[in-house]
Amino acid sequence: MWLVQCGKNASLYHDVKSHGKPELFGDNNAHNGALSLWGYYMVEPVSQFKSKSGFKRIIGAFGYSMDGFRSAWRSEAAFRQEMLLMVVGTISALSMQISAFEKFMLIGVLVLMLIVELMNSAIEAVVDRISLDQHPLSKNAKDFGSAAVALSIGLAATAWGVVLFNRFY
């Protein structure tokens, strides 16, 4: 949060537009419900990358998602391997003589595995963006993400094992 001085002589952030900070609240401007405390308003900073609302937001979000998939495909071998497993698994699940619920669950655990892999890749990218130096907290963050991937793969393997065992034995 930022403290922004109100009034005509406000000088705390006099050139707010060039610094990417919120505009000052003047005496005659609406405060959008901001709380005034001794002539200052508490306002949340708004990212310049935050999109608008409505259909433009949906289109933008879809584009960012596609960028994420392309980036993961290009730069993450584990994602490519798991995507191949997802395609083979989906075809296998749909071709098996099992209930629709079982098909849904088999495909669902594979989708969950991809979701966790993408989150792990995001964590790794942020840690690497901050610093490439070795640090115990960086190691912990990457190890936690890897453990989450291992759990999701274990869950997928267990679900597939149970369904296949029930189907064939």
Higher-scoring residue by pLDDT: 63, 17: 63
Q: What is the pLDDT of residues 20-56, one digit of tens each?
A: 444 444 444 445 555 555 555 566 677 766 656 788 8
Q: Round to whole Å and give the CA distance between 32 and 25.
A: 10
- The residue from 23, 82, 117, 124 that is catalytic is 117
48, 25 in Cβ contact below 8 A? no
Q: Which residues face 60 on adjacent strands?
A: none
Question: What is the torsion angle, in degrees rounded to the nearest 10, for the CA atoms of residue 151, residue 156, residue 160 and residue 161?
Answer: -10
Ranges for all domains in the chain classified under CATH 1.10.287.3610: 55-168
User: How far lies 125's CA from each of 12, 121, 139, in Å?
Assistant: 35, 6, 13
Q: Taking all residues of the chain, what is their mean pLDDT, rounded to a whole number?
A: 82
Domain 55-168 has CATH 1.10.287.3610: yes
Tell me which residue has tokens 């002539």: 39
Kindly report which listed range (7-16, 143-152, 153-162) carries the lowest average pLDDT score: 7-16
pLDDT band at 76 (very low <50, low <70, confident <90, very high): very high
Residue 108 contacts residue 100 (beta carbons within 8 Å): no
Q: pTM for the whole thing? A: 0.69
> Positive or negative CA dihedral for 4, 10, 11, 17?
positive
145 vs 118: CA distance, rounded Å: 10
CB count within 10 Å of CB 56 equals 10
Structural contact between residues 148 and 120, judged by C-beta atoms closer than 8 angstroms: yes
117 catalytic? Reply is: yes
Model confidence pLDDT, tens digit, residues 90-105: 999 999 999 999 999 9
